[in-house]
Chains A and B, each alone.
Chain A
Amino acid sequence: MDYKTKPTSRHDLRQYAKFFRHIFDVPETGAFPVLEALERLEDVFPNCNYVIVNDDKLPPQTMAQCSPNEDGGFTIVIKETVYRGAYENGIGAFLGFICHEICHVFLFHIGFKPIFAYSFDNNELPAYCSVEWQAKALCAEVMIPFEESHGMKPTEIVNRYHVSKAFSTNRRKLEKEGCYRRK
């Protein structure tokens, strides 16, 4: 499920990523401390919080989800397995799932709100105006700082930034395609 929002580009999201790190008092380099940022969610975004639930409380394919709550903010619901994997083993994919949801909250707060009340199927919308693509792309930019990671091999990216192999290989792929030319 996806929603349409105002358009943006990867280049702009990269700039937002710096601001994202700044509001959580995280330096522009190094791994992003996802679980520590999660603790500070309510300080940064009023009325936003998170809950960890037994795995059977969310659909099998859903690792975490972000929904509006009754206080006018958002609640991020995370499967126990996902939080545990992120906390105990630092599993990059699981840290990514959680960071992705925080990115949804951030993007909503800076004005990237759904334009229509109805949803779209996954991959139905062009990437630039897809709520899901924007959160995914921002998450990658937050977790893998552009300047510092330039030219790194995927394994270096995985080890330094605690991200999934898929994230790291995608970064290298985009870099090779020229999406990461310095402007």
Chain B
Amino acid sequence: MAYTKFGEFVRVLRIKNHEVMGDMAKVLGASLPFLSAVENGKKNVPAEWIEKIVLHYNLTAIEKQELESAIEESRTQYKITPIHAGIQQRRAAMQFARSFDEMDDETATKILELLSKKGEHNN
């Protein structure tokens, strides 16, 4: 069980600012177990935390970008909103989502490359 990118980012922020997790939980208005679960990748980072962290730690624009990138890399859940999709499209989306867990990094990279090439052709 390692820290996520977000967990590592905020841990370093705390150390730089002579704070501990208890201080950060207060800043974010979060319970300690919830913050801890987020840092360890058990829960997603709530969107409203970004501005709270930026303000409290006085982050620069570049640091804010790094924070957002760390949050994106730490996501454990993605929301699909298939409002305009039909039954078959929804089934396909769910099937596609289920296959992620068993996919190794190499396969995932190759699929991303193919999707990227497909995007280039379409453009």
Question: If A40-B15, A49-B40, A52-B36 touch, does A84 touch B21 (CB 8 Å cutoff)?
Answer: no
Q: Which residues of A contact B3 (CB under 8 A)?
A: 42, 49
Which of A36, A49, A70, A83 sits near B32, CB closer than 8 Å? A83
When chains A and B are docked, how far (Å) is the Cα of A35 from the Cα of B24? 13
**By DSSP majority rule, is chain A's interface helix, strand, loop, or mixed?**
mixed
When chains A and B are docked, how far (Å) is the Cα of A52 from the Cα of B36? 6
CB pair A51–B1 under 8 Å, yes or no, is yes
Give a binary string over B4-47; 1 marks a CB under 8 Å from any A CB, 0 the rest: 00001001001100101110000000011101110010000000
CB pair B22–A84 under 8 Å, yes or no, is yes
- CB A161 to nearest CB in B, in angstroms, measures 18
- CB A107 to nearest CB in B, in angstroms, measures 21
- CB A39 to nearest CB in B, in angstroms, measures 6
Q: Is B62 in the interface zone, CB < 8 Å from A?
A: no
- CB B20 to nearest CB in A, in angstroms, measures 4
Which of B8, B18, B22 sits near A88, CB closer than 8 Å? B22
Q: Is A38 in the interface zone, CB < 8 Å from B?
A: yes
- CB B14 to nearest CB in A, in angstroms, measures 6
Q: Which residues of B contact A19 (CB under 8 A)?
A: none
Q: Which residues of B contact A70 (CB under 8 A)?
A: 1
- CB B51 to nearest CB in A, in angstroms, measures 23
When chains A and B are docked, how far (Å) is the Cα of A88 from the Cα of B33? 15
Question: If A35-B22, A49-B2 touch, does A84 touch B11 (CB 8 Å cutoff)?
Answer: no
Q: Is A69 in the interface zone, CB < 8 Å from B?
A: yes
Which of B8, B20, B33, B40 sits near A36, CB closer than 8 Å? B20
Binding site for B on A (CB under 8 A): 35-36, 38-40, 42, 47, 49-54, 69-71, 75, 80, 83-84, 87-88
Binding site for A on B (CB under 8 A): 1-3, 8, 11, 14-15, 18, 20-22, 31-33, 35-37, 40
